[in-house]
Structure 1
Amino acid sequence: MQVKETTAEGLKRVIEVVVPASDLEARLQTRLHEAKDQARIKGFRPGKVPVAHLRKMYGRSMMAEIVNQILNDTPRTVIADRNERSAMRPEIEMTEDEGEAEKVLSGKEDFRFKISYEMLPTIELKDTAGIKVERPVVEIPDDEVEEQVKRIAENARSFEPVEEAAKDGDRVTIDFVGKIAGEAFDGGSAADQALVLGSKSFIPGFEDQLVGATAGEERAVTVSFPEDYGAENLAGKEAVFDVTVKAVARPVEQELDDEVAKKLGIESLERLRTVVREQIESQYGMATRQKVKRQLLDALDKDYDFDLPEKLVQAEFDNIWAQVTRELEQAGKSFEDEETTEEKAREEYMTLARRRVRLGLVLSEMGEKAGVQISDEEMQRALFEQIRRFPGQEQQIYEFYQKNPEALASLRAPLYEEKVVDWLLTKIDVTDKTVTKEELMKEDEEPVALAS
């Protein structure tokens, strides 16, 4: 096999490979002799089939298998021998001329093809000891915990029937049928639906129009679905609901005590407070993590500048752009609504794609040098978590990931990224800073995650 580099521009490489016809013939002869001892062909005793007969019957298909094997194995071997790493799957270019292809398969001509790829750049890691970040921390006051406990306790509140007009806080039991332009629509009807007035669990304006209703009363409730409503066939449309109020119940006064906690499945009020505090801490903790990670990535972004594999950047941009345009479409908005233009948005998201690829490569190199690993157990947890998102399709989703290494790699990437960040946070200067919850929860302009 002859291997020759024909292009070396930046990170781009094109390698020309020539497999002599004599090499192809030698491989074919090996296969034919292996098949000779196993072939079962009518008219011949086992192991006595002439090689010439086997070649006549199966030579072309065997040669096609040999060619495919060469195409599968050679790129990986060639790139490894050059001590290079391909950023994406190498592209193969070979003749499309049927005549030439037939000569190769018949063993009369050398097999020529080209391997095109972009190398991963060589990254010289810099010392991270000088990086400093502030970890924003929120002190959770007892009154915030107590407010959340009271809100949760509302779920355990009892109601008793009343023969009075419904008011905010009361629970009404209703039947309803929703219509648009006089026609009932799917999902717009229900029977014996319990609704606490003022809970804002229905379309804006629906609950307000039931205040003052009494048991047995029928009302026509007119509302408009929000413009960003999830169901596109209903978004922004006016609907009339024919509502029958079947019962009105008023909340019973309750003391915040152990009995309330037990109704919620928790052994005591004190334990309920502890659980609520832990939930709030977890919520704030995730936000803290994102803020710290953003500062760390910003610091790394300033430290590194190197050539990027353009196809890797383009693939990242395509992922970002698909998400952006999908979200705009779902919201029924345009770039002009976001006070920008498509051209400007493309420039901004291409810059973001370059940042993500650059930081992704830096973190990958750091992780490799630090020996960061993702265990099989961690991958299994990530896979099962993904499968849980598709109830009823678990087996199909599992098989999809098992058969698609690239899809499985997409689950591994964010796990690896977070473990490298964890390792980095032990190597840099991190100081705590007390902030308000409003400061902590303020969203960054761009998403932090590198993985797509």
Structure 2
Amino acid sequence: MQTQQTVNEGLKRAYVITFTAAELAEKVDAEIKKVAPQVRMPGFRPGKVPANLIRKMHGAALHGQVVNDAIREAVDSLLRDEGLRPAMQPEVRLNPDYAEGKDAEITVNLEVLPQIEAPKIEGLKLEKLVVPVTDEQVDEALARIAAQNKSYKDAAKTKKAAAGDQLIIDFVGKLDGEPFEGGSATDAALVLGSGTFIPGFEDALIGVKTGEEKTITVTFPADYQAAHLAGKEATFDVTVKAVKVETETKLDDDFAKSLGLDSLDKLKEIMRGQLEQQTAGLTRTQMKRALLDQLAAGHSFEVPASMVEAEFQQIWAQLEQEAANDADPEAARKQIEAEKDEYRAIAERRVRLGLLLSEIGQANGVEVTGQEMSMLIQQAAMQYRPEDRERFVQYIQSEPMAAAQLRAPLYEDKVVDFLFDKAEITTREVTLEELQAAIEAEDTAEAAPAPKKDAPKKKAAAKKEAAAEEAPAGEEKPAKKAPTKKPAAKQEAAPADEGEAKPAKKAPAKKAAAKK
């Protein structure tokens, strides 16, 4: 085997590795001897099949395996012997006219990670903007909970149902006069005007009284999830068992107990903690971006173009998806096209900061423990269907790049926490609006030159996490295809059995007919 370097420009490297035909033939002969004891062939005792017959039957497959193994071993040796740190997976190609009996020539193209001077972490100064949680904010949060947990009391039997009232009803749905499966319910609670039933159902019950019976005719939406009901006209025989009116929800110990808590004070304590947790997340975001701005300003070095391109494509895919969902997709696409250079600059910044954080972490012994990695894998596996979780775990364990990608966010956060400990931090109390404005200002400051005055909201979607979610050096998309994630909750709303049709807008499995 001979190795020759053909390119050494900046971070780009290229090599040509040549295997002689004799070398490969020798490896094939060795492989034939290795597998001979396991070969079975009629007329020969086990292990006694002649080598020429084994070559005739399995030579092509063994030769292909030998070439693949030789290439893999050669590339591994090249990286090790030359001390190369690939930025992305090296591009390896076998000469297209290669055939058995000829010399094999492979080209290896790659970019290496830059040599970064010891990052400067001394003298970091950060301002921590904190938002104190007030009693008024806690009360507002409690009011929202109360609004979501309304209570109702029976109205007078002469009361005509109006929007906002709750009905307790029995109903039977019919197609062409025949009840259909899943179209009936008993003691179903329905708040008129809530929009939980299919169009027309709730409107038809305005004005009903307790004890009244009524037949409603409605049409299922054309896009209804149960195909045999989509666009069909159906009738529902409804019995109104009660008309209820909303009662004032008192925020007291009884209300807290209805939520499974001991007292109102305990509920307030929990709400305060949740509000503090929310603002603490924003505070960390603001501090992290300020930290990364300082690091970016103090370090400049060449970054691998392949990593920048991969990061840019990730940003661009997100932007195109958002543009497609915009009210005016064509205008949104034109706007992001006009700002393409800015987004590429953001991608470069992300990569540079990712490499910088990785270097800082390695230099200071920051690492993700095996226990932490196991927890990450198990948490990520929960995003998949139960039958795919084990396959996902095996995939992560067998694909170093995929494992590194999963580990990257936690590793980055641990490096950031390390830098927080090293920094001189001053604290200042601000309002929530001031904290949000500070974060938005950092988003704008990190953008590429000359952002436009009327920058679209879509732009913030890509920029808001620029440099806040950088992956450490060497991360890339997994080489193999991971198991498909389970659908989002709204996609799982359809009943497992399409025959279990329900006259709701989107019927959840096992819910009463006509409900979402």
Q: Which TM-score bucket, shorter chain as reference?
A: 0.7 to 0.9
Deviation at 1:153, TM superposition (A): 3.5
CA distance in 2, matches of 1:132, 1:210: 65
1:399 aligns with 2:391: yes
1:369 aligns with 2:363: yes
Deviation at 1:157, TM superposition (A): 4.5
Which amino acid in 2 is paired with 1:399? R
Q: Which residue of 2 aligns with 1:259?
A: 254
Gap change, CA 1:128 and 1:169, over 3 Å in 2: farther
CA distance in 1, matches of 2:188, 2:327: 31
CA distance in 2, matches of 1:252, 1:314: 59
Query: Is the 1:94–1:113 contact (alpha carbons within 8 Å) kept by the matching residues of 2?
Result: yes
CA distance in 1, matches of 2:62, 2:336: 52
Gap change, CA 1:193 and 1:137, over 3 Å in 2: farther
Query: Is the 1:86–1:117 contact (alpha carbons within 8 Å) kept by the matching residues of 2?
Result: yes
Q: Which residue of 1 aligns with 2:349?
A: 355
Deviation at 1:26, TM superposition (A): 2.4
Gap change, CA 1:211 and 1:57, over 3 Å in 2: closer
Gap change, CA 1:398 and 1:315, over 3 Å in 2: farther
Instruction: Give the match's secondary structure for 1:37.
Output: helix
> Once the two structures are superposed, what CA deviation does each residue of 1:269-297 show, in whole Å capped at 9, x if it has no partner?
11111111111111111111111111111
1:68 aligns with 2:88: no
CA distance in 2, matches of 1:29, 1:21: 12
What count of residue pairs does the alignment treat as equivalent? 416
Q: 1:162 pairs with 155, 158, 174, which one?
A: 155
Q: In terms of mean alpha carbon deviation, does 441-450 or 424-433 score higher?
A: 441-450
Query: Is the 2:95–2:104 contact (alpha carbons within 8 Å) kept by the matching residues of 1?
Result: no
Gap change, CA 1:252 and 1:321, over 3 Å in 2: same
- Mapping of 1:248-287 within 5 angstroms? 248-287=243-282
Gap change, CA 1:175 and 1:279, over 3 Å in 2: farther
Gap change, CA 1:417 and 1:165, over 3 Å in 2: farther
Gap change, CA 1:341 and 1:254, over 3 Å in 2: closer
CA distance in 1, matches of 2:205, 2:300: 63
Instruction: Give the match's secondary structure for 1:430.
Output: strand
Which amino acid in 1 is paired with 2:92? I
Instruction: Give the match's secondary structure for 1:47.
Output: coil
> Once the two structures are superposed, what CA deviation does each residue of 1:138-190 show, in whole Å capped at 9, x if it has no partner?
111112112222332445543112144567864456899xxxxxxxxxxxx99
CA distance in 1, matches of 2:386, 2:408: 22
> Once the two structures are superposed, what CA deviation does each residue of 1:41-84 show, in whole Å capped at 9, x if it has no partner?
33233333333333333333212111011222222220121111
CA distance in 1, matches of 2:277, 2:170: 39
Q: Which residue of 1 aligns with 2:115?
A: 122
Query: Is the 1:171–1:197 contact (alpha carbons within 8 Å) kept by the matching residues of 2?
Result: yes
Q: Which residue of 2 aligns with 1:179?
A: none
Deviation at 1:202, TM superposition (A): 7.1
Deviation at 1:314, TM superposition (A): 0.9
Q: In terms of mean alpha carbon deviation, does 53-62 or 160-169 score higher?
A: 160-169
Instruction: Give the match's secondary structure for 1:389.
Output: coil
The alignment-based identity, stated in percent, is: 35
Instruction: Give the match's secondary structure for 2:42.
Output: coil
1:432 aligns with 2:427: yes
Query: Is the 2:168–2:190 contact (alpha carbons within 8 Å) kept by the matching residues of 1?
Result: yes
Deviation at 1:365, TM superposition (A): 1.3
CA distance in 1, matches of 2:10, 2:118: 20
CA distance in 2, matches of 1:119, 1:328: 35
Gap change, CA 1:427 and 1:33, over 3 Å in 2: same
Q: Which residue of 1 aligns with 2:142?
A: 149
CA distance in 2, matches of 1:294, 1:417: 13
1:305 aligns with 2:322: no
Gap change, CA 1:58 and 1:91, over 3 Å in 2: same
Q: Which residue of 1 aligns with 2:131?
A: 138
Query: Is the 1:316–1:357 contact (alpha carbons within 8 Å) kept by the matching residues of 2?
Result: yes
> Once the two structures are superposed, what CA deviation does each residue of 1:390-426 show, in whole Å capped at 9, x if it has no partner?
4xx2322541453252444332221211111111111
Deviation at 1:16, TM superposition (A): 0.5
Deviation at 1:317, TM superposition (A): 0.8
CA distance in 1, matches of 2:168, 2:373: 47
Q: Which residue of 1 aligns with 2:335?
A: 341
Query: Is the 1:87–1:117 contact (alpha carbons within 8 Å) kept by the matching residues of 2?
Result: yes
CA distance in 1, matches of 2:332, 2:184: 36
Cα RMSD over matched residues? 3.8
Query: Is the 2:17–2:107 contact (alpha carbons within 8 Å) kept by the matching residues of 1?
Result: yes
Instruction: Give the match's secondary structure for 2:47.
Output: coil
**Structure 1: gaps (5+ residues):** 177-188, 221-230, 232-241
Gap change, CA 1:382 and 1:210, over 3 Å in 2: farther
CA distance in 1, matches of 2:195, 2:258: 22
Query: Is the 2:131–2:430 contact (alpha carbons within 8 Å) kept by the matching residues of 1?
Result: yes
- Mapping of 1:91-102 within 5 angstroms? 91-97=91-97, 101-102=98-99
Instruction: Give the match's secondary structure for 1:331.
Output: coil
Instruction: Give the match's secondary structure for 1:135.
Output: strand
Gap change, CA 1:165 and 1:73, over 3 Å in 2: farther
Which amino acid in 2 is paired with 1:147? E
1:450 aligns with 2:445: no
Gap change, CA 1:196 and 1:302, over 3 Å in 2: farther
Deviation at 1:335, TM superposition (A): 6.3
Q: In terms of mean alpha carbon deviation, does 376-385 or 85-94 score higher?
A: 376-385
TM-score norm. by structure 2 comes to: 0.70
Deviation at 1:254, TM superposition (A): 4.7
Which amino acid in 1 is paired with 2:353? L
